[in-house]
A and B are shown apart, each in its own frame.
Chain A
Amino acid sequence: MEIDDNKDNGETEEIISDLVSVDCNLSTGPGSLGPSLSNHLAPDPAGPLVNTTNVMLKAPTNSNPPSDTMAAPVPGAEAAPVPGAEAAPVPGAEAAPVPGAEAAPVPGAEAAPVPVPGAPVPVPRGPLFGAVGATVPGPETQGPQTAPVQMEKETDESSKTECQTNIGGQPEIIPEEPPGENEQDDSGEFVVTMLARGKLQEQGVGVTGGSSPLSAPSEGPSSHRDEDVTAESWRQHRKHVFVLSEAGKPIYSRYGSEEALSSTMGVMMALVSFVQSSDNTIRSVYSDGRTVVFMQKGPLVLVSVSSSRQSEQQLRGELLYVYYQIISMLTQASIARIFKNKKNYDLRRLLAGSEKILDGLLNLVDSDPSFLLAAVHCLPLASSLRDSLSQILQKAITPNLVFSILIANNQLLTIVQEKTVIEDTRLEPADVHLLLNLIGASSAFQAGEIWTPICLPLFNPDCYFYAYISYLDPPECTVCLLLLSTDKEAFYAVADCKRRIEEAMLAQSSLSLIAKARCYSVSQVGVSDLRHFMYKPFDIPDHHKQLTQFTSPEMEAPYSTDEERMRLLDLYRYMHSRIHSTSRPLKLIYHVAEKETMLAWITSKFELYTCFSPLVTKACAINAITKLLRWIKKEEDRLFIRYPPKYSTTPNPSKSSRKSDQQDSIDNGFMSLL
């Protein structure tokens, strides 16, 4: 490993020389991030977050040096103001025109060209709380080598050390504006100690989750509802999520009953309104081992208390999913109306019974990278089969039908949309995630045909669609058909579409073909050290109406246990937070962890996260990525839903002209919904 490290450094330095040109090339990068998490999932924090970060950087550094690991390097204290970093010389990656990677074009992009032995090296990092990097004091043997440019070298040991340093660190409150008053610290501490009294889990980024109660999907969804909220085990949960009303009424708690927690929630609300009263908005609190993130959406306040080491931005994105899931059940308009009429309405009245849906969502958020990437994962399928399925859906239509979606084992097979709809907009990944979660949570109904109102918050937060959900292969119930109509009364007509789809699929034996479809193994890529990856192509101008997707192989050994899987996901989350750091976004990160080596790379065309065995050399890894990109290119028709088909819900689509199609759709009432 030592040897590799040295090589890395050597290479890194070499790379720096190409830097400037690469930098220019990719200056469009941030723009191309549009469809990624920052836009769709956390639209609001994007701007102010930068401020927040600054505040965090400035305020506390002087007062408590040991915990400044949280604050990361002060902008001025950058080792080297050299803009930029390195480019990885990936040769001829087809999909990637720019074989390089480079520093963020953001001012703070740092580079530490010369490793200074023994000196604490500020490692580039975003607001990632308590994470690796930063100054590594103490017996850190790797110290000298951690002086990376972008390609930083981090070890789990270092993170542990740092973690311990954090213990007892003062909590910081980071309001949107620079904090004027110190009292905020007091109240912050109050809540934080309340919420986070639990012993700090010493988890390095690379070793998270070992002993913590994972929210693995295997755990029965609502088994946590009766938990004793005063017990140590309750505090030890990796991630709590609370939803409360502006009046401080509990609405949802991931663990324990909302009732038992009403005083805790009251305190949180008190804190939120206290800060609000001084014209600030509370955004996050950092304390020993925990990040507390607050988000207000309309009359709802969402709080995440996490020891997962995710970035604030990521936690915020997750809270937004929770908010959207609530909207999907009640619509934004009706929530606003309810609270306008009655400030202290108990929303649990309407959400009663939906806890499992929210629990399920949070379990998915923790275990399924689709949420992190804000992209959907479709089941790999021969494109001829996918096309024939799409055609079947396209033929079985009825007025007011707007989306037809086929799902197998919770993965998309195909989506077909009504023409008028697709012209204006597209289905957002987040909306698809909410739909998939709803289906997962209601799977007990496998024998029946469900008809339920559902709102797609990103499509339109104020109106309902009516979802028809039915399994096509009882009793196995793996293949699910989801038809969305704008007409509340259309059940029988939509159910009839299902019967036609069923017949057509029977005639083409589609079900048995679907049953053979499998997610692929990374071994098919044929790169020996590659263990896993996630590849998300960005919108290409021509296809900008496409659903954002990503592809990823199955998680295989050594990631076959829930703990190991979670550990890998945590590494991905860490890489993701670095890549998407608002203060210091990176384009390429080569991260040597204890048990694996990670490489993340973002270009204007794609976002890629790879996981290699720990002994891979950087040259090998780069070579592997070239091969991987080539393989993906070759397989892309199978891996992705390409050119999602459209239909028109006029009765006779074949010969009608486009214009009249649209007219009819408007008459069908779709437009009136908007």
Chain B
Amino acid sequence: MPEFSKMRKPDVKIVILGDMNVGKTSLLHRYTERKFKDTVSTVGGAFFLKQWGPYNISIWDTAGREQFHGLGSMYCRGAAAVILTYDLTNWHSLAELEERFLSLTDTANHDCIYAIVGNKADLTGNQAQQVAGQDGPTEDQGEGGGVNPPSACPTPPASPVLLSRVTLNKQVSREDAVSLYGRILRYKGMDESNCLPADKMCFETSAKTGYNVDALFETLFDMVLPSILRNRTEREQSPTVDLEDHKETGKRTRARCC
């Protein structure tokens, strides 16, 4: 395939994961098109190329539906950053990140950066009518690591659509997200002290109002710069680059992190 090199080769790959309906597509639309518009549930994954200064950043917006679960690890292959997205008003969507999506990131780069993003912040802000006590959803949890979608799940909960009723209650606290971040680092066998701190990597956003969306993407772009530079040097050395390269861990710095 000699023509292959003609393609605008992405320098780095970022993947957005998360349960269906949490707003992954909306976040990306907000960032790339500066607006919030109607979406349909994503099928498979959608690939976007974002020009970031002199660099080409590829972003994969994946489908949250269980139907496409099997593809997740393919989209994640060689990723330099993964955005784990949940819906701030839906506790279950946070639990799903750990149960269903975390294992997909096994194919990501060793030094992959993880961001935890609670979306739909507009539903929890000051406008929220009431912040009633809400311990209810804890029993939504259960069933360990649904790795194989169809069979592995003894007690299928109601479908995610039904669970994501829009309550005005903030169901997920920042602490929940922060502790998930810690568990992710442990899962990855990373030393917390060498990694980016949770308070930098847990975001709350609103695709609807735009709150914190640019900050999310641009912070991440800055953070993957080292990966970009590394990929570029490698490409100069050998013409056939594959994004799955796992070499060179730990070269990450916090350079330009704002």
Which residues of A are interface residues toward B (Cβ below 8 A)?
259, 329-330, 334, 337-338, 341-342, 345-346, 348-354, 356-357, 398, 438, 441-445, 447-453, 467, 488-489, 491-493, 495-496, 499-500, 651
Q: Is A353 in contact with B151, judged by CB distance below 8 angstroms?
A: no
B167 to chain A, nearest CB (A): 16
User: Is B47 a contact partner of A438 (Cβ separation < 8 A)?
Assistant: no
Q: Which 7 A-B pairs have the closest CB atoms?
A: A452-B44, A448-B46, A353-B41, A352-B159, A353-B65, A449-B47, A452-B43
Chain A: minimal CB distance from B123 (Å): 18
B150 touches A350 (CB 8 A): yes
Which of B31-39, B130-138, B172-180, B222-230 lies at the interface? B31-39
What residues on A are CB-neighbors of B47 within 8 Å?
Answer: 448-451, 491, 495
Q: With contacts A259-B162, A337-B150, A444-B38 known, is A346 near B156, CB below 8 A?
A: yes
For this complex, 7 residue pairs linking A to B, each with C-beta atoms less than 8 Å apart, are A346-B159, A348-B161, A352-B161, A353-B161, A438-B43, A452-B63, A499-B7
Q: Would you call B40 an interface residue if the criterion is a C-beta within 8 Å of the partner chain's C-beta atoms? A: yes
Residues from 17 to 44 in B contacting A, C-beta threshold 8 Å? 20-21, 25, 32-33, 37-44
Max chain B CB contacts within 10 Å: which of A452, A491, A495? A452
Which chain A positions have C-beta within 8 A of B74? 488-489
In contact, B39 and A330 (Cβ under 8 angstroms)? no
Q: Which of B32, B66, B150 has the most CB of A within 10 A?
A: B150
Known: A353-B63, A447-B48, A651-B1. A348 touches B150 (CB 8 A): no
Q: B150 touching A442 by the CB < 8 A rule?
A: no
CB of A448 within 8 A of CB of B61, answer: yes
Q: Which residue of B lies closest to A497 (CB)?
A: B3
Residues of B near A356 (CB, < 8 A) are: 40-41
- Given A345-B150, A499-B7: A353 and B67 within 8 A (CB)? yes
**Interface-centre pick from B40, B43, B66, B161 (highest chain A CB count, 10 A):** B43
Specify which chain A residues have a CB less than 8 angstroms from the CB of B46 in the assembled complex. Answer: 445, 448-451
Interface pair A448/B48, CB less than 8 Å apart: yes
Please tell me which one of the listed residues A259, A342, A354 contacts residue B41 in the complex, with CB atoms under 8 A apart.
Answer: A354
**With A350-B66, A352-B159, A353-B161 in contact, is A500–B3 under 8 Å at CB?**
yes
Closest Cβ neighbor of A396 among chain B residues: B3
Q: Known interface pairs A352-B65, A438-B43, A447-B33. Does A338 touch B150 (Cβ–Cβ under 8 Å)?
A: yes
B20 contacts A338, CB within 8 Å?
A: no
Known contacts A444-B25, A449-B47; can you find 14 more A-B pairs with CB under 8 A? Answer: A334-B150, A341-B150, A348-B159, A350-B66, A352-B160, A353-B20, A353-B65, A452-B68, A453-B44, A453-B68, A453-B71, A467-B44, A488-B71, A499-B8
Complex: A34 Cα to B65 Cα, angstroms: 38
On whether A445 and B7 interact (CB within 8 A), knowing A351-B67, A352-B65, the answer reads no
Q: Which residues of B contact A452 (CB under 8 A)?
A: 43-45, 63, 68, 71
User: Would you call B149 an interface residue if the criterion is a C-beta within 8 Å of the partner chain's C-beta atoms?
Assistant: yes
Q: Is the CB of B66 within 8 A of A444?
A: no
A467 to B161, CA, bound (A): 25
Complex Cα gap A338–B151 (Å): 7
* Contact indicator B39/A444 (Cβ below 8 Å): yes
Residue of B nearest to A348 (CB): B159
Chain B residues with Cβ below 8 Å from A442 are 40, 42-43
CA distance A488 to B70 in the complex (A): 11
What's the nearest-Cβ distance from chain B to residue A51, in Å?
Answer: 37
* 8 A Cβ contacts from B141-173 to A: 149-151, 153, 156, 158-162
B4 within 8 Å of A by Cβ?
A: yes
- A447-B33, A449-B47, A651-B1 given as contacts; is B65 within 8 A of A495 (CB)? no
Say yes or no: A330 contacts B159, CB within 8 Å.
Answer: no
Chain B residues whose C-beta falls within 8 Å of the C-beta of A259 in the assembled complex: 162
B251 close to A (CB within 8 Å): no
Per-residue A-contact encoding for B46-73, CB less than 8 Å = 1, 0 else: 1110000000000001011111101100
Contacts A350-B66, A451-B47, A491-B47; A398 near B161 (Cβ below 8 A): no
Shortest Cβ distance from A336 into chain B, in angstroms? Answer: 11
Q: Does B6 make an interface contact (CB < 8 A)?
A: yes
Say yes or no: A329 contacts B67, CB within 8 Å.
yes
Given A438-B43, A452-B43, A495-B7, are A352 and B66 also a contact pair (CB < 8 Å)? yes
CB of A352 within 8 A of CB of B20, answer: yes
CA distance A357 to B8 in the complex (A): 32
Q: Is the CB of B6 within 8 A of A499?
A: yes
Which residues in B have their C-beta under 8 angstroms from that of A448? 46-48, 61
Minimum C-beta distance from A425 to chain B (A): 24
Residue ID in chain B nearest A442 by CB atoms: B43
Partner of A493 from the list B4, B67, B159 (CB cut-off 8 Å) is B4
Could you tell me the distance between the alpha carbons of A516 and B158 in the complex, rounded to whole angstroms? 49
Are B44 and A450 interface neighbours, CB within 8 A? yes
A residues less than 8 Å from B61 (CB atoms)? 448
CB contacts (< 8 Å) of B3 on chain A: these are 496, 500
Of B37, B65, B71, B158, the residue contacting A354 (CB under 8 A) is B65
Query: Whose C-beta in chain A lies nearest to the C-beta of B48?
Result: A448
B7 touching A492, Cβ below 8 Å: yes
User: Does the CB pair A398–B67 fall under 8 Å?
Assistant: no
Whether the Cβ atoms of B44 and A493 lie closer than 8 Å is no
Residues of chain A within 8 A of B38, CB atoms compared: 444
B6 nearest CB across to chain A (Å): 7
Q: In the complex, which residues of chain B have a beta carbon less than 8 angstroms from the beta carbon of A342?
A: 151
Contact partner of B67 (CB less than 8 A), chosen from A350, A438, A496, is A350
In the complex, how many angstroms separate the beta carbon of A101 from the nearest chain B beta carbon?
A: 45
Looking at the assembled complex, report how far the CB atom of A490 sits from the nearest CB atom of chain B, in whole angstroms. 11
Residues of B within 8 A of A495 (CB): 7, 47
A441 → chain B closest CB, angstroms: 6
Q: How far is the CB of A401 from chain B (nearest CB, A)?
A: 12
Question: Smallest distance from the beta carbon of B98 to chain A beta carbons, Å?
Answer: 18
In the bound complex, how far is the Cα of B158 from the Cα of A48, in angstroms?
Answer: 39
- What A residues does B162 contact at CB under 8 A? 259
Complex: A513 Cα to B25 Cα, angstroms? 33
